[in-house]
Amino acid sequence: DVVMTQTPLSSPVTLGQPASISCRSSQSLVHNNGNTYLSWLQQRPGQPPRLLIYKISNRFSGVPDRFSGSGAGTDFTLKISRVEAEDVGLYYCMQTTQFPWTFGQGTKVEIK
Amino acid sequence: QVQLVESGGGVVQPGRSLRLSCAASGFTFSSCGMHWVRQAPGKGLEWVAVISYDENYKYYADSVKGRFTISRDKSKNTLYLQMNSLRPEDSAVYYCAKGGRDILTGGDYWGQGTLVTVSS
């Protein structure tokens, strides 16, 4: 199974300041078809997960442009350019390049 | 708009069975793969199973293989998860998640989840 490792596990951020979360996979997420199936999910307290980013850097419908994804191969990053109060919650990276899908441990974003 | 509504959760004794349902609407159910993902209380996400849009492919996590069965009824736009021989470690909120026609894509929409508690 592909192991996904996120850092940091906790990220206290001042409102309006940027935040960055890293995700590393134990093996390359580049599929034979050339696509890299790395996604980012947000889970607000008491809510189900919500897709933010797919295939490394594509924002899902309705996701604010302060969220951006980057990376390649085994190293990926989610950035929030200016954190807002509604961004508080857990963030997970997820690989769907091969089964079983696997997730990072989650990074808690909270306001300082 | 896309809606996924899970049901069927509850408290069940170890060794017993339970069937979860996920009613889908707002998209072409017959064209999309569908997944089950679970989350134990206070823990992270664990993928459980997938069924392709044409039912030709079904994959399971090793932790549930041989005990859980994923299925779908296109006439009812409903996804199912039959869970047999339940164990305390199966206790979790179970989410259904919409996939794409490509079995590798998915997780674009999630239901609110249904809680399963396995306890004597």
Residues A54-72 have pLDDT tens digits of 999 999 999 999 999 999 9
- A60 chain-B contacts, CB cut-off 8 A: 108
In chain B, % of residues over pLDDT 70? 100
- A105 chain-B contacts, CB cut-off 8 A: 44
DSSP assignment string, B45-77: EEEEEEE-TTSS-EEE-TTTTTTEEEEEETTTT
Contact by Cβ (8 Å): B114, B7:
yes
Q: For B23-76, what is each residue's pLDDT tens digit?
A: 999 999 999 999 999 999 999 999 999 999 999 999 999 999 999 999 999 999
Amino acid B106: pLDDT: 81
> CA of B64: which chain A residue's CA is closest?
A100
- The confidence band for A100, taking pLDDT boundaries of 50, 70 and 90, is very high
Amino acid B99: pLDDT: 92
Q: 10 Å Cβ neighbour count for B17?
A: 11
Which DSSP helix (H) or strand (E) runs through A102? strand A102-103
The yes-or-no verdict on residue B105 having pLDDT over 90 is no
- Residue B88 DSSP one-character state: G
When the pLDDT of each residue in chain A is averaged and rounded to a whole number, the result is 97
**Which structure tokens are listed for B26?**
């707002």
The mean pLDDT value for B96-103 works out to 91
Sequence-distant (6+) residues with CB within 8 A of B4 are B22, B23, B24, B96, B97, B98, B109, B110, B111, B112
Amino acid A25: pLDDT: 98
**Which structure tokens are listed for B66?**
């041989």
The mean pLDDT value for B84-101 works out to 96
- The confidence band for B102, taking pLDDT boundaries of 50, 70 and 90, is confident
Give whole-number Cα distances, B52 to A39, B43, B72, B79, B102, in Å.
19, 27, 10, 11, 8
Give the angle A90-A2-B51 at the CA atoms, nearest 5°.
Answer: 85
- B97 chain-A contacts, CB cut-off 8 A: 49
Amino acid B103: pLDDT: 82
> CA of A30: which chain B residue's CA is closest?
B104
When the pLDDT of each residue in chain B is averaged and rounded to a whole number, the result is 96
Q: For A28-51, what is each residue's pLDDT tens digit?
A: 999 999 999 999 999 999 999 999
The yes-or-no verdict on residue B104 having pLDDT over 90 is no
> CA of B37: which chain A residue's CA is closest?
A101
Of A31, A94, A102, Cβ closest to residue B107: A94
